[in-house]
Homo-oligomer: A and B are copies of this chain.
Amino acid sequence: MATRPPITHCLSKHFGNAVRQFREGKGWSQELLAEQADLNRSYIGELERGQAIASLMTLEKLATAFGVSMSHLLSHTERIAMSNNANTFELTSIAC
């Protein structure tokens, strides 16, 4: 059985999924999001893949670019996490 990854790893994955969903909802490329949020394109890619942990500064830049509050972007992240955990329970798979 696979070892459950640490919660912090899950958090970065779920946050990355939230960022990707918001970006795709706007029909933006990673390049365009990077430009709108004043962040590096490769950093956006790392965030979306859950390979980087965002700071509150980054969260603020992304939320501002998407035109939402920071808490809204995090609420969406939490919904993804809950949905993922529910699926995990059903599938008895790993958490993220």
Residues of A within 8 A of B (CB): 7-8, 11-12, 15, 53-57, 59-60, 69-72, 74-75, 77-78
Which B residues are in CB contact (< 8 Å) with A60? 7-8, 11
Measured CA separation A12–B70 after assembly (Å): 13
Q: Which residues of B contact A70 (CB under 8 A)?
A: 74, 77-78
- Say whether chain A's binding surface is mostly helix, strand, loop, or mixed: helix
Q: Which residues of B contact A69 (CB under 8 A)?
A: 74-75, 78
Considering the chains assembled together, what is the distance between the CA atoms of A77 and B60 in angstroms? 12
User: Are B57 and A53 in touch, CB under 8 angstroms?
Assistant: yes
Q: Are B53 and A54 in contact (CB under 8 A)?
A: no
Taken together as a complex, chains A and B put the C-alpha atoms of A55 and B57 apart, in Å, by 9
